[in-house]
Amino acid sequence: MVGWAIAVHGGAGVDPNLPPRRQEEAKQLLTHCLNLGISALSSNASAVDVVELVVRQLESNPLFNSGRGSALTAKGTVEMEASIMDGAKRRCGAVSGLSTVKNPVSLARLVMEKSPHSYLAFSGAEEFARQQGVEVENNEYFITPDNVGMLKLAKEANTIMFDYRIPIAGYEKCIGFESPVKMNGLPISIYAPETVGCVVVDSEGRCAAATSTGGLMNKMSGRIGDSPLIGAGTYACEVCGVSCTGEGEAIIRGTLAREVAAVMEYKGLRLQEAVDFVIKHRLDEGFAGLIAVSNKGEVAYGFNCNGMFRGCATEDGFMEVEIWE
Amino acid sequence: MGWAIALHGGAGDIPYSLPPERRQPREEALRHCLQIGIKALNSKFTPLDVVELVVRELENIPHFNAGRGSVLTNKGTVEMEASIMDGKTMKCGAVSGLTTVVNAVSLARLVMENTPHIYLAFDGAEDFARQQGVETVDSSHFITPENIERLNQAKDANRVQIDYTQPIQNDTKNETEPPFANGDSQIGTVGCVAVDSNGNLASATSTGGLVNKMVGRIGDTPVIGAGTYANEFCAVSATGKGEAIIRGTVARDVAALMEFKGLSLKEAANIVVQERTPKGTVGLVAVSAAGEIAMPYNTTGMFRACATEDGYSEVAIWPDTKIE
């Protein structure tokens, strides 16, 4: 028997000019979610139940970029995606392209448990949602005024910098962009932290992970990021559970979540070493962060960008909610 | 060292009793695609160009489950997916849910090269295809009579996909008889991996997915790290039961074992196929930066072919019988 451990995140890559009020709101939400998870774990809930529970909570709150409050596509619509993985038998479920499902992570779980497949997307996923009778809302429910404003700014920014791979010199002199920090080709002030996630190891030593997102602001309709891709944004096996956030393309290329587990399994690294190794060596020019737990009851996180909304707690009473380094 | 190339047309329970009229066209097709790859490598095409070229050819051949000849969803439609990865730059591209694009692998490459994204799916991918002006045709082009028959049989047997968490319920009278009277494996995919004499690697995979799959089902093929992967160590393309390949992160694991445990390509590939995935679910082709080739599978057979610059070549389906 190990002590349980839990970590949650609300995205990597934070505007250094984020108003204090927003920082406070974020920390409160993370604390609230941690407490929900802690309560469930203290009642012996399984890891996979806890990660679903916590991510549902994050999805329902418009503060972060998932479920309600999701980033918008170039068409101004919402296309949500999520995945969940149960480390014990490496069962997994994922969904993409959801436009009406209130809790994508729960649909991902149903794909894992009630369908013969691992991953359903777009109209097929929406159909499955109706078959399963999950809660649905009109697309407008998920769209917040904040994000409508962000989309407009993102479109303006993209007309100035159309190829995100080419660094633009001097754009920080452009009106409206105070911060020189950039992620995914957008100034950090309008980038929107990408994703939410939760990882848990329960008192039986079982690990689980779940990740949910609206994706990249102003993304092409149909664009799939790392969050629903097992091995990239989410991974859990016998030794650990990992959830990533940040530049989706960098996370996919680096198969980031799987990487943490692979260096633990194949190189014998401990959790924190594995996390540090992956963040240091697997991201090249990409920016990302991740949270992880191990079957030994450890919790760890790492990020190479400007801040990550996160919280972690272990059974022995340790608890921390932070944004910056 | 010289170049090396390997390609596959799907792993599965391909019965030894496969009649000649079903076997020969496929062997011929494998040989033909291998020749195309060999010629391209000898003409100094990059591995990325080579794998795209070969997979396009495999997609166009109706005998394999990709492009034309793709298996059908439970609604009788076609939903194709593919991915491609360049080991040198680690750039990758993927597409899913295509219904009119003649060559899914080429669209995946365009996603990689012409967008800031990696993966586009369904309507968004189809829109992108039109923007890019790639060849599209009416969906009916991809549908073959054999696949309509496979779908009907699958619906009759109600044995569509295997739930990997359950042991397979053997409710057929004869355990060794595959579910389909025509003797073809119902799962498959096509793929190609290549390395040039400088150790540059690339991989590409393409498929129609699983017979009678739910509309919207995505398999391992477009998931980087599952069905396709390439880095500086090796290039891998996997085939088999998508759900098993996803949770086993099969393609990535071969490379990870080489990198982190110092195993050779053959050792790494064998461990992943024989020890880390359930029997009857996976096959793969892989090449390493040193020009080695591995083509392990834990199914009855795998349509495959490979060649190296020193003149060796092989086309095979089962373990014992090599055609050449």
Contacts 24+ apart (CB under 8 A), A125-131: A125/A95, A125/A96, A125/A97, A125/A98, A125/A101, A125/B216, A126/A97, A126/A98, A126/A99, A126/A100, A126/A101, A127/B215, A127/B216, A128/B214, A128/B216, A129/A98, A129/A100, A129/A101
Cross-chain residue pair B214–A128, CB shorter than 8 Å? yes
Cα–Cα distance, B81 to B209 (Å, whole number): 8
Tokens standing for B175? 């355990």
Is pLDDT above 90 for B185?
no
Q: Nearest chain B residue to A129 by CA: give it.
A: B216
Handedness of CA A62, A67, A72, A77 (dihedral sign): negative
Task: Identify residue A147 by its one-letter amino acid code.
Answer: N
Measured CA to CA, the distance from residue A228 to residue B84 in angstroms comes to 18
pLDDT tens for A25-69 read 999 999 999 999 999 999 999 999 999 999 999 999 999 999 999
Average pLDDT on A247-253 reads 93
Distance from CA of A24 to the nearest CA of B (A): 33
Hey, is B123 helix, strand or coil? helix
Closest-CA residue of B relative to A162 is: B116
- pLDDT-derived band at B163 (thresholds 50, 70, 90) equals very low
pLDDT at A157: 80
**The two three-digit tokens of residue A197, written as one number:** 């996630």
CA distances from B180 to B10, B74, B152, B219 (A): 16, 16, 10, 21
From chain B, the residues in CB contact with A127 under 8 A are 215-216
pLDDT at position B159 is: 59
Which residues from chain A sit within 8 angstroms of residue B252, using beta carbons? 231, 255, 258, 262
Residues of chain B positioned with their CB less than 8 A from the CB of A225: 119
pLDDT value for B157: 82
Partner-chain contact A223 B261, CB within 8 Å: no
Shortest alpha-carbon distance between residue B119 and chain A (Å): 5
**Could you tell me if A123 lies within 8 Å of chain B, comparing CB atoms?**
yes
Which residues does chain B have within 8 Å of residue A123's beta carbon, measured at their own beta carbons? 122, 215-216
Mean pLDDT value across residues A252-259: 97
Q: Please state the rounded mean pLDDT for residues A275-285.
A: 94
% residues pLDDT > 90 (chain A): 78
Q: Does A124 touch chain B (CB under 8 A)?
A: yes
Helix (H, G, I), strand (E, B) or coil at B140: helix
- 3-class secondary-structure state, position B287: strand
Beta carbons of A45 and A38 less than 8 angstroms apart: no
The one catalytic residue among B73, B100, B189, B277: B189
Residue B150 has pLDDT above 80, yes or no: yes
Q: Do B92 and A252 touch (CB under 8 A)?
A: yes
Give bridge partners of residue A292 from the DSSP assignment: A242, A300
Q: What is the pLDDT of residue B165?
A: 32
Assess whether pLDDT exceeds 60 at residue A71: yes
pLDDT exceeds 50 at position A163: no
Mean pLDDT of A104-128: 97
CB count, 10 Å around CB of B151?
Answer: 21
Least confidently predicted of A83-87, A247-251, B104-108, B202-206:
A247-251
Share of chain B above pLDDT 90, in %: 83
**What pLDDT, on the 0 to 100 scale, is given for residue B22?**
86
Which residues of chain B make contact with A254, given a CB cutoff of 8 A?
90
Shortest distance between the Cα of B12 and any Cα of chain A, in A, equals 18
Note which residues in 75-94 of chain A have CB less than 8 A from chain B.
85, 89-92, 94
Q: Which of B90, B223, B258 to mutate to test the interface with A (most CBs of A within 10 A)?
A: B223
Q: What average pLDDT does this structure show over B120-128?
A: 97
Closest alpha carbon within chain B to A221: B124
Look up A195 and say whether it is catalytic.
Answer: yes
List of chain B residues whose C-beta atoms are within 8 Å of the C-beta of residue A122 = 97, 121-123, 216
What are the DSSP calls for B206-219, one per residue?
EE--STTBPTTB--
Can you tell me the distance from the alpha carbon of B247 to that of A204, in angstroms, rounded to the nearest whole number? 22
Considering CB atoms only, which of A89, A249, A267 is closest to B118? A249
Question: Which band of pLDDT confidence, cut at 50, 70 and 90, is reported for residue A161?
Answer: very low
State the DSSP string of B228-284: EEE-SSEEEEEEE-HHHHHHTTHHHHHHHHHHHH---HHHHHHIIIIISS-TTSEEE
Per-residue pLDDT at A309 exceeds 70: yes
Token pair listed for A265? 């399994």
Query: Looking at CA atoms only, how far is residue B14 from chain A in angstroms?
Result: 22
**ipTM metric:** 0.90
pTM summary value: 0.91
Per-residue pLDDT, averaged over A143-172, amounts to 65
What is the per-residue burial (b if ≥16 Cβ within 10 Å, else e) of A292-305?
Answer: bbbbebbbbbbbbb
8-state DSSP, B16: T
Coil, helix or strand at residue B152:
helix
**What is d(CA B273, CA B312) in angstroms, rounded to the nearest whole number?**
24
The pLDDT value recorded for residue B179 is 37
Contact indicator for A293, A271 with CB cutoff of 8 Å: yes
A216/A154 Cα distance (integer angstroms): 10
User: How would you classify residue A317: left for phi > 0, otherwise alpha for psi between -120 and 50, otherwise beta?
Assistant: left
Q: What is the SS3 assignment for chain A?
A: CCCCEEEEEEEECCCCCCCHHHHHHHHHHHHHHHHHHHHHHHCCCCHHHHHHHHHHHHHHCCCCCCCCCCCCECCCCCCEEEEEEECCCCEEEEEEEECCECCHHHHHHHHHHHCCCCEEEHHHHHHHHHHHCCCECCHHHHCCHHHHHHHHHHHHHHHHCCCCCCCCCCHHHCCCCCCCCEECCEEHHHHCCCEEEEEEECCCCCEEEEEEECCCCCECCCEECCCCCECCCEEECCCEEEEEEECHHHHHHCCHHHHHHHHHHHHCCCHHHHHHHHHHHCCCCCCEEEEEEECCCCEEEEECCCCEEEEEEECCCCEEEECCC
- Confidence (pLDDT) at A154: 87
